[in-house]
Structure 1
Amino acid sequence: MTRMDRRTRVLVIAIVVAFIAFLDGAVINIALPAIEAELGGGLTLQQWAVDAYLLTLGALILLAGSLSDSFGRLRILRIGLYGFAVTSVVCAIAMDGAVLVVARALQGAAGALLVPSSLALIIANFPAAEQGRAIGRWTAWTTSAFLIGPILGGVLVDLVSWRLVFAINVVPIAAVLVMMRPLGRDEPNPDRARVDWLGAVLGVVGLGGTVFALIEQGRLGWDDPLVYIPAVVGVVALVAFVLWERRAAAPMLPLTLFRARNFAAGNLATWFIYAAFMLGLFALPIFLQEVGGFSATLAGVATLPPTALLVLLGAWFGTLGGRYGPRFFMTAGPIVVAVGYLLTLMIDLPVQYWWQVFPGMIVVGLGMAMTVAPLTSAILGAVEPSRAGIGSAVNNAVARIAGLVSIASIGVIVAGQLDVDGYRRVAIVTAALLVVGGVVSWIGIRNPAATAPDVGAVQPATSAETPAPEDRPRS
């Protein structure tokens, strides 16, 4: 195999692997009402079907990067693919909610191995001069998962079954495993770093305990030992995680990264912004199907405008952010998204999509396009190039964990029922989180010295190439 043939094969494999992981996150929200209708469990099962996956994915994605570096990209990628295939089949054949939730948690653990390894595979096989173009193609193709996912999920649910949403993963996984055969095996890494297993365990226990309490309190109440004991254990584990990461020889989460102002402020803004992104896009498809009477396919199409505008305009706003600095866009973008969600407060029964939902979704998409690429640029620009990989992984983990917590909290927000009043409360909370994210950006983010503009009178300036918008909305 020539070097060029190998690079082409590696790029295709990396794209398909990430596409599988992103597609799974994009289709699940559309399938939730059908899953609940067959398995029962109400809103609690719907929350767990999403959060079980996000829990292990968010908690283990940093560890996965370390495993990839230590034991080899191809080895970790194969393990992740086999794990994702098996757990997808278990999800597809699950006959009760408990089995589905456990399988989704294991699927998230397998998914955590895929995305970091796919990017690391590109870095390892492409020379520095070609990496930017290769990652750009990776980003463009994997972004299409967020366009295809809602429609594909809706069609599969309406015409066949929600079970096919999971079972279909097996086909591309089998194709990728066949494509990987000519790549051989990884060379041993004699200088592999120590893996932070204790940090990973503390992270999973901490997030698992707090998320369990947030979801189950709606059913059991805060005074139930099954709620407050996991909550206490979770909080203690999270505190212990931070303390351990400060002293660990090879920490899973290098806290020294947060000494950079834009990295710290950008990740704090990410927490609020992505908590809102995922909360809003979790609630709306469920509401449209269960209350509005939309089919799964129509609900998927109805929530497509934000992703379509993100794909169409994201690179343009990324260029503007690189030219004028990210601060203005990270401030204005979330506030524009907040306005979009406030426009959906017009929702009532019967749902009139074109004037109650569509205008708000267009504004939401415009604001998301303004926000995502400049946010990524600000965060990655705040760390040394040699640490850009871990910086991106930290930001991805923050975004996913923020969504995990916000979805876990939806039962508190809607008081157990996602009716018209419940959705309106979600829209208000979503808008409030976005405004906070915008304010944090304005206060905390600083434009690079050579590109710092006055917001009222923007002056063009040169800047480094804007990184691709890797941290788009996840499910």
Structure 2
Amino acid sequence: MYAEERKEKSIITVFLGFLLGLVYFSNNSLIIAISSIQQDLGISTMNINWVVNSYNISIVSILVIAGRICDRLGSARALQYSLPIYVGGSLLILFAQETFVLVLGRFFQGWSLAFLYPCLARVVTGNFQGKELGKAIGLYNGIASIFMPLGFFIGGWICTYGTWRYIYIIDGGWGIILWFLTFFLLKKDSPKKHTKIHIPGFLLFSAGLVCFIAVIMEGKVWGWSSPLSLTLFGGALLFFFLFYLVNRKAKDPLLHFQLFRSPSTIAAFFVMFSVSTVYLISVIWSIYLQAHFFLSPLAAGTLLLLTVVPTVFFSPFIGSLIDRVHIGRLISLGLLLGAAGTGIILLGLNQNHIWILVLGFVVYGNYLIFCRTPTSILLYSSIEPARRGKIFAVYKLWSQIAVLTGFSFLAANMASVEVNLIEERFAEYQITDIPISEARQVTISKEALEKIEAEYPVGTVDLVKKIVQQAGVEGLESTMWVPIYIFLLTFLLFNLYCWKTKSTF
């Protein structure tokens, strides 16, 4: 009986690893495929922002109530309802011929995976207790982390020797298999039928989030002081204020602001929010390596793989290291490694030197181990077990908001610098009859290239391509300084807070 129970628990742990691995594979394969998608569909840099962030917007908005829906339905039933939505999103992306369909598919994928995190928490805490719980979490995270490098490598291989659409055949098939297995591997846990969903709070939060992100993403295009930008920003503030009032009066609020009381909780949230803002910088690296460094998707994927290899190999040892070294020191080391790794990558891009890039990606990968993992441990060790579920939901929500806001700003900043430089160079060469929006498509759209060749004098295409490529390089270089500043500022403020509160962690 005991042997059968252990076997059953081992199978559940492996299943959870493959479930979480789907998220890692999907995200990392998209990162490396984004340049191929951009060229195939002729998507602008700003619209790439929407392709990436539609996924994050849906996760953040649904995550507010996903835990409650899982409580009400039970984890098995919630997964059985949500995974088909993920498969549907993969099919939309597979057959997408325009940006809107691609964005919609990503939105459905994010919507589905928002239910994954609370379901994982319910399944693992429902099947494992005591020392078994820590081992189970470590094992399924270890299995899932294998798919981080596989996402980069397989995605790069597919885009080099096939078409990026094959990735979403794997994605959809993976989702179907996992959905099928939920009926056999997951027991129907007891749902909490009296759990309230709080629809008004959810709608207010989602409306505020969409208005805020729209301004962050499009503000430089519309103009920060334009009526549309000001209206949306004012709407975001109003919706968030109304959400705060509704949330405050609720008996069981969606967000528990009183959780932010202990110094360690505040420190953990601050560090995670700060570093999450630059989490998707790898999307911009992927585009640059392929569009301006002229690497194949496979070569670019192999380089980016170096950012996750340290996590796969060294994560099992971080726990024993934390027993010997203060968590605060490890977090500080991780922040410095993040700044140093980004700086080395920037140097490699400037010098056009592949081995400097290799070193930079490896150093950057170690930041993930020494910063993100200890930060999670710092958070969970500071609260009692009964409140960890609520903390996890808030923690995941704020980290996703940071990812969403950070990438929106980075992509918008890069696009803005690129447009300004193209305008300056066009004025310098007296190119006045080619729209900037059309010129920016020459490196990613064959149609735009053919149009300029047909309508403008010989030599114009080569000049425009040179201007656009150089603008893209300079736009990336200016954007790369942002994460360096964020890492260093976070390091300074974190240590200042530790000194001010006399916290040793």
TM-score after normalising by structure 1: 0.88
Compared CA separation, residues 434 and 131, structure 1 to 2 (3 A): same
Report the Cα distance in structure 2 between the residues aligned to 1:350 and 1:331, rounded to whole angstroms: 29
Q: How many residues align?
A: 450
Q: After TM superposition, give the deviation of residue 404 of structure 1 in Å.
A: 0.8
CA distance, structure 2, for counterparts of residue 149 and residue 448 of structure 1: 41
Q: Deviations over 1:438-471 (max 9, x none)?
A: 223213358999x948xxxxxxxxxxxxxxxxxx
Residue matched to 1:270? 272
Mapping of 1:401-412 within 5 angstroms? 401-412=401-412
Q: Determine the C-alpha separation between the residues in 2 that align with 1:411 and 1:146.
A: 23
Q: Which residue pairs with 1:441 in the alignment?
A: 494
Q: Secondary structure at the match of 2:191?
A: coil
Distance between the aligned counterparts of 2:345 and 2:50, measured in 1? Answer: 26
Question: Which residue does 1:420 correspond to in 2?
Answer: 473
Q: What do you get for the CA RMSD once the two structures are aligned?
A: 2.5
**Residues 65-108 of structure 1, C-alpha deviation per residue, up to 9 Å, x if partnerless?**
22212220101111121111111111111111011112211211
Give, in angstroms, the shift of residue 53 of structure 1: 0.2
The within-5 A match list for 1:288-367 is: 288-348=289-349, 351-355=352-356, 357-367=357-367
> Residue 396 of structure 1 aligns to a residue in which SS?
helix
Name the structure 2 match of 1:64. Answer: 66
1:60, 1:109 within 8 Å by CA — same for their partners in 2? yes
**Residue in 2 that maps onto 1:37:** 39
Q: Displacement of 1:199 after TM fit?
A: 2.7
Report if aligned partners of 1:277, 1:430 keep a CA contact under 8 Å in 2. no
Task: Kindly indicate whether residue 215 of structure 2 is the aligned counterpart of residue 162 of structure 1.
Answer: no
Q: Tell me, what secondary structure is at the counterpart of 2:383?
A: coil
**Is residue 85–residue 169 contact of structure 1 (8 Å, CA) maintained in 2?**
yes
Distance 2:99 2:141 in 1: 34
Secondary structure of the 2:308 match is helix
* Structure with bigger gyration radius: 2
Partner of 2:178: 176
Amino acid at match of 1:324: V
Equivalent residue for 1:93, pick from 75, 92, 95: 95
Can you list the C-alpha shifts for 1:45-82, whole angstroms capped at 9, x where unaligned?
A: 21111111011112322421222122201011111211
Aligned partners of 1:273 and 1:144: how far apart in 2? Answer: 22
Shift of 1:376: 0.8
1:284: Cα distance to partner?
A: 0.9
How far apart in 2 are the matches of 1:136 and 1:359?
28
Q: CA deviation at 1:347?
A: 4.0
Q: How does 1:41-190 map to 2 (within 5 A)?
A: 41-183=43-185, 186=188, 188-190=190-192
Does the aligned pair in 2 maintain the 1:325–1:448 contact within 8 Å? no
1:429 aligns with 2:486: no
CA–CA separation in structure 1 for the residues paired with 2:272 and 2:242: 23
* Distance (whole Å) between structure 1 residues aligned to residue 186 and residue 399 of structure 2: 34
Query: Quick one: which of 228, 231, 249 aligns to 1:229?
Result: 231
The residue type paired with residue 422 of structure 1 is G
Q: Structure 1's 277 and 318: CA in aligned 2 closer, same or farther, altered over 3 A?
A: farther
- In structure 1, runs of 5+ residues without a counterpart are 454-475
Deviates more, 1:425-434 or 1:245-254: 245-254
Deviations 1:222-258 (A, max 9, x none): 3444433323222322233333333222222211111
Cα drift, residue 187 of structure 1? 5.2
The structural deviation recorded for 1:155 is 1.3
Contact 2:75/2:189 (8 A) holds in 1: no
Contact 2:264 2:378 in 1 (8 A): yes
CA contact (8 A) 2:35 2:290 kept: yes
- Counterparts of residues 456-467 of structure 1 (less than 5 Å): none
After superposing on structure 2, the runs of 4+ consecutive aligned residues of structure 1 that deviate more than 6 Å are 446-449
Is 1:245–2:247 an aligned residue pair?
Answer: yes
My pick for the range that moved more, 295-304 or 242-251, is 242-251
Change (3 A) 1:148 1:186: same
Amino acid aligned to 1:376: S
Give me the identity figure in percent: 21
Residues 10-32 of structure 1: per-residue CA shift (max 9 Å, x gap): 22332222111221112111111
Q: Which runs of 5+ in 2 are unaligned?
A: 419-470
Distance 2:342 2:217 in 1: 24
Shift of 1:431: 0.6
Shift of 1:154: 1.0
Moved more, 409-418 or 25-34: 409-418
- TM-score of the pair, normalised by structure 2: 0.83
Structure-2 change in CA distance of 1:4 and 1:312 (3 Å): closer
- The aligned residue for residue 425 of structure 2 is none
2:312, 2:500 → 1: CA distance?
24
